[in-house]
Amino acid sequence: MAYWLFKTEPGEWSWDDQVQAGAKGSEWTGVRNPVARNNLQAMKKGDRGFFYHTGDEKQVIGIVEVVREARPESGDPAWTSVDIAAVAPLKQPVTLAAVKAEPKLAAMALARQPRLSVQPVSDAEWKLVSRMGGL
């Protein structure tokens, strides 16, 4: 299993929206960066990801699972999408400031490439951020 981080502006698509989509999940659309697109294409069903609110919040707030692998985006088939479903909220959100303050996360894409909308997360990063989030 691989791990990822999905970034979203909560005013456009929030954790609550993701939870309301239910077990079938929702299509993750709007990714227009080629690196982020390649990350989507590398995902496999069952991979897990952090759900991250951008904007004023800047925090990891939940865990999602890839329920459908990469395919052409429904609104623009020139781009790629996956379907993700909510798994669980973090007991305590993990802020970007907390990630940047943790020396063991210095190499994490979230700390180095904060604008990349879909990012890989290493096993060690996954475990540490999950622990920081109370899981």
Residue 115's pLDDT is: 85
Residue 70's pLDDT is: 97
Low-confidence stretches of the chain (pLDDT beneath 70) = none
CB 119 within 8 A of CB 129: no
Residue 58's pLDDT is: 96
Residue 97's pLDDT is: 96
Of 21, 40, 26, which is closest to residue 79 (Cα–Cα)?
A: 40
Which residue has 């400031």 as its token pair? 97
Structural domains of the chain sorted by starting position, each given as residue range(s) with its CATH number in brackets: 3-132 (3.10.590.10)
Residue 16's pLDDT is: 97
DSSP 84-104: EEEEEEEEEEEEHHHHHH-GG
State which H helix or E strand residue 129 sits in.
helix 123-132
Residue 114's pLDDT is: 78
CB 36 within 8 A of CB 117: yes
